[in-house]
Structure 1
Amino acid sequence: MTESEMDVAESAKAWTTANLLKLVGRIRSNTPESEKTTNYQSGLLSVNWDKTAFPPYSAKECHDKWQKVMKKMRKVRSLPDLIAEAEEVVSKPLLHRRTHPDFPKYPCSARIDYMKKNFSRLKKKHPRLTMTEIVVKALKKYNELPDEKKDEYEKRHALERAKYWRKFDNFCKNNNLHCTRRARKAKLAAIEGLPVKPPRGGLSLFIKEHAAEKPSLGLDFFSDMKKRWRKLDATEKHEYYTRCLKMRHEYNAKLKEYLDRFDETEKQLFIKEQEIRFMKAKPLSVQRMSPREPKMPSQTLLTYFARDKMMSLARSKKRWHKLSVKEKERYKEQMHSNMEQYSENLQKWFEKLTPEEQTKYLKQKPSKLRFLDGKNKQVYDREELHLSQPSDSEDEEIIEISSEEDIWSSYEGESGEDWDMFERHR
């Protein structure tokens, strides 16, 4: 490059008044809203200089020029400047706060509560100790307290926490904010000593234990787990149901022990505020004579199509008529395969019954005889005219699925209630 060309390039990069005003405007537009009320140093770090830069200047040149401009500005504001800002703060108070003024403050823990109440006393007693040493001493004294005294602080903390979540719910309602499921789970998890709710049934326990195997599947994880669950035989499923029943009894016992710390009035208030309830569980002394009878899968092709497409039966019915014969045949093969597997599982289960139980079962359900006889086994092929054929499958119900939350809910049907788990897959 010649000397004359270098002079032309330098003159083109000279900062004119128009360019400086443009730089100021681009800095203003590229400063995040959340940083516009912070101090200068913090706010400047949030500016994206790559987006702020404009031809013929680079990001570094824009940054350096702004630093030179700031050196020429006075660092102390005048009274008119403060008055102008005061008018904006008074007229738009929420823009100058990181936290909403009505947002409730989470209560401190039992240990911190003890430290606050005894900090002044310890400071007077040990004037030569530093602030950090006093804090350590206070926490050490708390740990040495008898359990009865600690329970008083824990009880007070539980009540304060209940008040906080009450205010939090009111804040969400007053400001049209949705109190998320995650927030409710965090609310219960924050309560020290409160037992964690176990899975609702055998299927949910099966999914929880295999949750770490295939984390990369995302939404397909639940479909994969559902298919694997159906392939388990009756004995394996019965083992999961039995373990889940024991976990329910343990949860109820721990929950009762936790609630007994309160008097009757406080207990009822706590249960109402936290929406806590005991889980339904049959007595452990009542054992099944044999593993659970295998569930018969659906014999309706539309059910398989609706489950495969994750949509309601009403929507599936409209799309079903548009399928080709080849596509319908694929669902028919799937149905026949499931029925053959069901017949094998039923025969294995039936053989484990006593002669008296077998006779009683055939009297109650004579239609199941065709699945117990391998030679004369029949599988009905019900097409569109028989869409309402019932089955005794626990997976039969098909609901409208339009989001990940709906997919999650579609696998919660074992007990008819919600089960809050697997957050990391959500």
Structure 2
Amino acid sequence: MTESEMDVAESAKAWTTANLLKLVGRIRSNTPESEKTTNYQSGLLSVNWDKTAFPPYSAKECHDKWQKVMKKMRKVRSLPDLIAEAEEVVSKPLLHRRTHPDFPKYPCSARIDYMKKNFSRLKKKHPRLTMTEIVVKALKKYNELPDEKKDEYEKRHALERAKYWRKFDNFCKNNNLHCTRRARKAKLAAIEGLPVKPPRGGLSLFIKEHAAEKPSLGLDFFSDMKKRWRKLDATEKHEYYTRCLKMRHEYNAKLKEYLDRFDETEKQLFIKEQEIRFMKAKPLSVQRMSPREPKMPSQTLLTYFARDKMMSLARSKKRWHKLSVKEKERYKEQMHSNMEQYSENLQKWFEKLTPEEQTKYLKQKPSKLRFLDGKNKQVYDREELHLSQPSDSEDEEIIEISSEEDIWSSYEVMLMVLPVENNKYTQNNCWIFLNESVCSYESVIKY
């Protein structure tokens, strides 16, 4: 690229007044409604800079230019600005609930409570000290207190905090205000010593660890993380699952230790007020096999038909009987193809297990042995084709059955090839194909 072409490109990227106004407008339109009343730093994080950007500027260039614009703006509001906001606050008090006369006041922390109670005593004892020096001295004395004394102040603070959130919830209900999820998180986070709840699953842990990588994605961050999660193999996903399980056990242990500081009455009251729950966690000794077992596809033809036509099973069942044999065969081939692929995936997964895990798996699920046998990949249908229409082949062999005894003998032959689980016949409907017609025997044999 020549120097003249570079100059033209730079001049095209120069920020004009029209482009700056366009940038401001796009930032306004790409800011979520829920973030428009929050503070500047929180609101800026929710802006999707990829959607805000416009040619010839990239998302990073738009973000950097906005930071430069903010440096030129004053950070302290003038008196006319405050007067204008005061008029709105006075005229609409419920929209600014912290100015409402009935809005509860958040209790001070345990150390501040100690400082308030001992401030006058320290002031008399040290009259020459300034206010700041007395505060520092009081906080230093609090840090030197034994753990038993600190627990008393923290227990009193926990009870006051529970009263505050009870008043806060009542205030929201009485004034038809929505108690946001963020307020509940802040309520739990403000409790000193209460352990932080870990992510609910492997995906949540994966998103939390990669949250700082792509801040420019804004609200599209979660969809991008889900796509990256799907690309991980089973071993990597299992690693996140195991770590998350350990974090749950650690959280439950810390929560139990925290609650044991209260007596039984206070403990039950605290749990009820804060809506605290122990997290469900399997024992660490009973962990999921690594990597995760492949999921078996459906063995019912009706399921494939309903999924293909995107309709409920009840509606698809009525239309299923109207299909030709050729169309039903297509779904049968699809089912066999999926089952063969499942058999291959299961064999690959089974080979990665340790000998102990393989033995345990075969004891728990002996029916899966037929899918692990590479030579015998026969797939049994749970629902045979309803061949109620004439066959297209003229050379097809027709079996003539003339007596009831022949029918029962044919039925016994068919039972020999049906899958048997736990030595019990579980087939409720067995279709026997006789001279282009179908006979249904329901619940013929039950052991």
TM-score bracket for this pair, using the shorter chain length: 0.5 to 0.7
Q: Secondary structure at the match of 1:379?
A: coil
User: Would the aligned equivalents of 2:301 and 2:332 in 1 still touch at CA under 8 Å?
Assistant: yes
Q: Is 236-245 or 299-308 further displaced after alignment?
A: 299-308
TM (norm. structure 1) is 0.55
Cα distance change of structure 1 residues 150 and 76 upon mapping to structure 2, 3 Å threshold: closer
User: Would the aligned equivalents of 1:31 and 1:47 in 2 still touch at CA under 8 Å?
Assistant: yes
User: Would the aligned equivalents of 1:303 and 1:398 in 2 still touch at CA under 8 Å?
Assistant: no
* 1:239 CA displacement: 2.0
| Percent of pairs with identical residues | 97
Cα distance change of structure 1 residues 398 and 297 upon mapping to structure 2, 3 Å threshold: farther
Structure 1, residues 145-166: CA drift from partner, whole Å, max 9, x if none? 1121111111111111111001
1:112: which partner in 2?
A: 112
1:413: which partner in 2?
A: 435
Q: Secondary structure at the match of 2:261?
A: coil
* 1:237 CA displacement: 2.5
**Unpaired stretches in structure 2, ≥5 consecutive residues:** 411-432
Tell me the number of residue pairs that the alignment of Structure 1 and Structure 2 aligns: 425
Structure 1, residues 386-408: CA drift from partner, whole Å, max 9, x if none? 99999999999999999999999
Q: Secondary structure at the match of 1:418?
A: strand
* 1:117 CA displacement: 0.5
Cα distance change of structure 1 residues 203 and 156 upon mapping to structure 2, 3 Å threshold: same
| Counterpart Cα distance in 2 of 1:189 and 1:421 | 60
Q: Is 413-422 or 32-41 further displaced after alignment?
A: 413-422
User: Would the aligned equivalents of 2:94 and 2:175 in 1 still touch at CA under 8 Å?
Assistant: no
User: Would the aligned equivalents of 2:188 and 2:194 in 1 still touch at CA under 8 Å?
Assistant: yes
Tell me the C-alpha RMSD between the 2 structures.
17.0
* 1:114 CA displacement: 0.7
Q: Is 215-224 or 170-179 further displaced after alignment?
A: 215-224
Q: Is 366-375 or 29-38 further displaced after alignment?
A: 29-38
Q: Which has the higher contact order (CA 8 A, sep 6+)?
A: 1
Cα distance change of structure 1 residues 127 and 100 upon mapping to structure 2, 3 Å threshold: same
Q: Is 337-346 or 305-314 further displaced after alignment?
A: 305-314
Cα distance change of structure 1 residues 294 and 109 upon mapping to structure 2, 3 Å threshold: same
| Counterpart Cα distance in 2 of 1:136 and 1:415 | 95
Cα distance change of structure 1 residues 267 and 346 upon mapping to structure 2, 3 Å threshold: same
Give 1:9-408 correspondences, 5 Å limit: 99-287=99-287, 291-296=291-296, 345-353=345-353
Q: Is 78-87 or 181-190 further displaced after alignment?
A: 78-87
Cα distance change of structure 1 residues 282 and 64 upon mapping to structure 2, 3 Å threshold: closer
Q: Is 324-333 or 266-275 further displaced after alignment?
A: 324-333
User: Would the aligned equivalents of 1:111 and 1:142 in 2 still touch at CA under 8 Å?
Assistant: yes
Cα distance change of structure 1 residues 315 and 290 upon mapping to structure 2, 3 Å threshold: same
| Counterpart Cα distance in 1 of 2:35 and 2:172 | 24
Q: Is 341-350 or 173-182 further displaced after alignment?
A: 341-350
Structure 1, residues 253-302: CA drift from partner, whole Å, max 9, x if none? 10011111111111110000000011112222335565431335789999
| Counterpart Cα distance in 1 of 2:395 and 2:148 | 49
Cα distance change of structure 1 residues 402 and 220 upon mapping to structure 2, 3 Å threshold: farther
Cα distance change of structure 1 residues 174 and 253 upon mapping to structure 2, 3 Å threshold: same
User: Would the aligned equivalents of 2:302 and 2:317 in 1 still touch at CA under 8 Å?
Assistant: yes
Q: Secondary structure at the match of 1:424?
A: coil
Structure 1, residues 66-113: CA drift from partner, whole Å, max 9, x if none? 999999999999999999999999999989997100000000111111
Q: Is 138-147 or 278-287 further displaced after alignment?
A: 278-287
Cα distance change of structure 1 residues 346 and 76 upon mapping to structure 2, 3 Å threshold: closer
Q: Is 64-73 or 124-133 further displaced after alignment?
A: 64-73
Cα distance change of structure 1 residues 129 and 15 upon mapping to structure 2, 3 Å threshold: same
**Unpaired stretches in structure 1, ≥5 consecutive residues:** none
Q: Secondary structure at the match of 1:345?
A: helix
* 1:331 CA displacement: 16
| Counterpart Cα distance in 1 of 2:75 and 2:38 | 16
Cα distance change of structure 1 residues 22 and 399 upon mapping to structure 2, 3 Å threshold: farther
User: Would the aligned equivalents of 1:294 and 1:346 in 2 still touch at CA under 8 Å?
Assistant: yes
User: Would the aligned equivalents of 2:35 and 2:42 in 1 still touch at CA under 8 Å?
Assistant: yes
User: Would the aligned equivalents of 1:199 and 1:419 in 2 still touch at CA under 8 Å?
Assistant: no
TM (norm. structure 2) is 0.52
Cα distance change of structure 1 residues 386 and 416 upon mapping to structure 2, 3 Å threshold: closer
Structure 1, residues 343-394: CA drift from partner, whole Å, max 9, x if none? 6653321113467865886797688679767899899999999999999999
Structure 1, residues 304-339: CA drift from partner, whole Å, max 9, x if none? 999999999999999999999999999999999999
User: Would the aligned equivalents of 2:201 and 2:244 in 1 still touch at CA under 8 Å?
Assistant: yes
